[in-house]
Amino acid sequence: MSAKRKNMTSPRGSTKIRRKAIDLEMKMKIINEYEAGKKVKEIARDLELAHSTVSTILKDKNRVKEAVKASVGFKAIITRQRKGLIHEMEKLLAIWFDDQIRKRMPMSLIIIQAKARSIFETLKGREGEESTETFTASHGWFQRFRRRFNLHNRSVSSEAASLDIDAAEKFVDQFDKIIEEGRYHPEQIFNVDKTELFWKKMPGRSYIYKEDETMPGFKAFNDRVTLLLGGNVAGFKLKPFLIYCSENPHALMQVNKVNNTLPVYYRSNKKARMTQALFEDWFTNCFIPSVKHYCLEKGIPFKIILLLDNAPGHPQHLDGLHPNVKVVYLPKNTTAILQPMDQGVIAKFKAYYLCKTFSKAVAATENDEITLHDFWKSYNILHCIKNIESAWEEVTEKCMQGIWEKCLKCFVNNSEVFDKDERIDIVHKTIVDLANVLNLDVEVEDIEELVEYVEGELTNEDLIELEAQQRLEEAEEEEKVEVQKKFTVKGLAGVFSKVNAALLELEGMDPNVERFTRVEQQMNELLRCYREIYEEQKKLTKQTTISRCFSKATPRISAPRSISISPLSSRLPGPSTSPDDNSDDDFKPLPRFEGIND
């Protein structure tokens, strides 16, 4: 046996690659990153997977998504098809479980078992006497349910019930030391916090609330947005980050969200909730450019410290994403004590929002042209965003400075003594006056309850309604035809024409002929792959045209046209004058773009 073969078969010479197990969680991560705009090559490199493996997963993404539909964001295990009331109950229980985590409400085995039995009895009651299924929510059932949905140790403690005073005091000292050692200025210290705004919710005792309470879909998630609000110690306020349940709501069809023409950064997901991916999107694409520009305007170094709490939606790796931005996390169970944005800013913002909304309602109904019910029905997400902008502007610089007193030792003397309840009573009274103009019959207590409203636990009826709504949305999504990207002859030629024009302008400005020639050659080489695609598209277009001519039963013979074809190797093609994207006419080339020599 040759030495070469011996080396190939020896243990030391073996290059056998271990197969990497890819679970559904990993597959969904790949799909989400691809749909967020990340390239297949980059995904494969970051996850240390083969390019072909990533491509195969993406081709099979519909089946992967179907497999995790019931997993509610957890790593699911595909099992045999299950039917019956217990199966339906588990789907609703999974929705409830996810909602409990989102609200950071405590859970235990006893609580989960009790909710499971309650949901089952509700479903069984709907079936009537025909149903003979029984369910006890035994410990064995819970173990199987936990494996199916991977609920290992997913418990959430109540923040208010377990405040850690000692940890909070130690953190203040540690944070002060970080600021002193880093020589941070007040303009460089930022904090943000998320909050849910129930933007169409009315006071509970108002007649319009009681009327709408009987309507289908009253408690659906589509009346909520999640906002990320924040600013710095100097009092500067960041542009709000908004998450809604619809990517392209009808009210925003004419708005260019991509170019940031809205007064908020607009994002979406089906549940209008903050996720780690969305928070990282905000951090990278919104926060960093914004504070960098702010520092440039203020003439201070771009060196930022961002204070965050330990919410589930905050990725723990943010501190390593940018060398000029240091991220510091509050200790667990200290948010209620130390979180600056929780010290009155968000409550004031929501009060201002409600005041702005009621003011618009009074103005719209004062001439009796429309009723309050009609106004509320036509009140859409664009109106909401405009009122968010106005309400956020009402939050004062003094307020933004004063909220740092509990977590900072330095800089707090730069601002006056801060009263988080200052003016809030006046705003509440103003809202009551506006509400009375609208004949809503509310008191200050109703407004305070509305401003501080936090969603409670979902009832069984809520869960049934939400599950039905999710199935309807999924069915609608499946009906949508995914728009596939494709190359066209006319499109490619248009790109080539723009490149020609750009090079002509550069040639007119560059006194160095050798440099321009080198750039021109490099550009030709970069566009080689697209030139090859153009060539193939041209061939396909000509073949299609010929086939169409022969397929006619009685072809009409006309005088042949004279087609002048310039050598493709001489220059890139220019734009077509034909209205047909797939016209086989050659495009007039611009004179100065030397082509790619194949």
Backbone angles phi and psi of 230, in degrees to 5: 180, 180
> Do 398 and 352 meet the contact criterion of CB atoms below 8 Å apart?
no
Quickly list DSSP for 289-339: HHHHHHHHHHT--S-EEEEE---TTS-TTGGGT-TTEEEEEPPTT-HHHH-
- Given this model, what pLDDT does residue 73 score? 45
**361 SS3 class:** helix
Backbone angles phi and psi of 234, in degrees to 5: -75, -10
* pLDDT tens by residue, 473-505: 566 555 554 456 788 888 898 898 899 999 999
Q: Which of 185-189, 240-244, 337-341, 386-390 has the lowest mean pLDDT?
A: 337-341
Strand pairing partners for 328? 307
Strands 225-232 and 241-244: antiparallel
Tell me the residue ranges of DSSP E strands in 320-441.
325-329
- As to burial, measured by CB atoms within 10 angstroms (0-12 exposed, 13-18 middle, 19+ buried), residue 25 is middle
Strands 325-329 and 241-244: unpaired
* pLDDT tens by residue, 84-123: 888 889 888 888 887 777 666 767 788 888 899 999 999 9
Structure tokens, 387: 């009122």
pLDDT at 382 over 50: yes
| Per-position b or e across 460-492, b if 16+ CB within 10 A of its CB | bebbbbbeebbeeeeeeeeeeeeeeeeeebbeb
| Per-position b or e across 188-205, b if 16+ CB within 10 A of its CB | bbbbbbbbbbebbebbee
**191 SS3 class:** strand
**225 SS3 class:** strand
Going from the N-terminus, what domains does the chain have, and what CATH number goes with each?
20-70 (1.10.10), 82-152 (1.10.10.60), 164-451 (3.30.420.10), 489-545 (no CATH)
Q: How many CA atoms lie within 13 A of 492 on its CB side?
A: 22
Structure tokens, 210: 């009681």
CA distances from 485 to 44, 480, 482, 488, 542 (A): 21, 16, 10, 10, 21
- Given this model, what pLDDT does residue 297 score? 95
Q: Averaged over 160-182, what is the pLDDT?
A: 85
- Given this model, what pLDDT does residue 475 score? 65
> Do 267 and 283 meet the contact criterion of CB atoms below 8 Å apart?
no
Percentage of residues in the chain with pLDDT exceeding 70?
72
Q: Averaged over 585-597, what is the pLDDT?
A: 42
- Given this model, what pLDDT does residue 155 score? 45
* pLDDT tens by residue, 275-299: 888 999 999 999 999 999 999 999 9
Structure tokens, 574: 């220019």
- Given this model, what pLDDT does residue 51 score? 82
* pLDDT tens by residue, 305-338: 999 988 777 888 898 899 999 999 999 888 888 9
Cα–Cα distance for residue pair 228/265, rounded to 1 Å: 10
Structure tokens, 487: 């190359």
- As to burial, measured by CB atoms within 10 angstroms (0-12 exposed, 13-18 middle, 19+ buried), residue 322 is middle
pLDDT at 413 over 60: no
- Given this model, what pLDDT does residue 474 score? 63
Going by pLDDT thresholds of 50, 70 and 90, the confidence category of residue 6 is very low
**Closest among 379, 484, 380, 358 to 431, alpha carbons compared:** 358
| Total count of residues recorded for the chain | 598
> Do 69 and 475 meet the contact criterion of CB atoms below 8 Å apart?
no
Residues 6+ positions from 324 with CB-CB distance below 8 Å: 292, 302, 303, 304
Residue type for position 424 = I
Strands 325-329 and 304-308: parallel
Residue type for position 129 = E
Cα–Cα distance for residue pair 246/523, rounded to 1 Å: 41
| Per-position b or e across 128-139, b if 16+ CB within 10 A of its CB | eeeeeeebebee
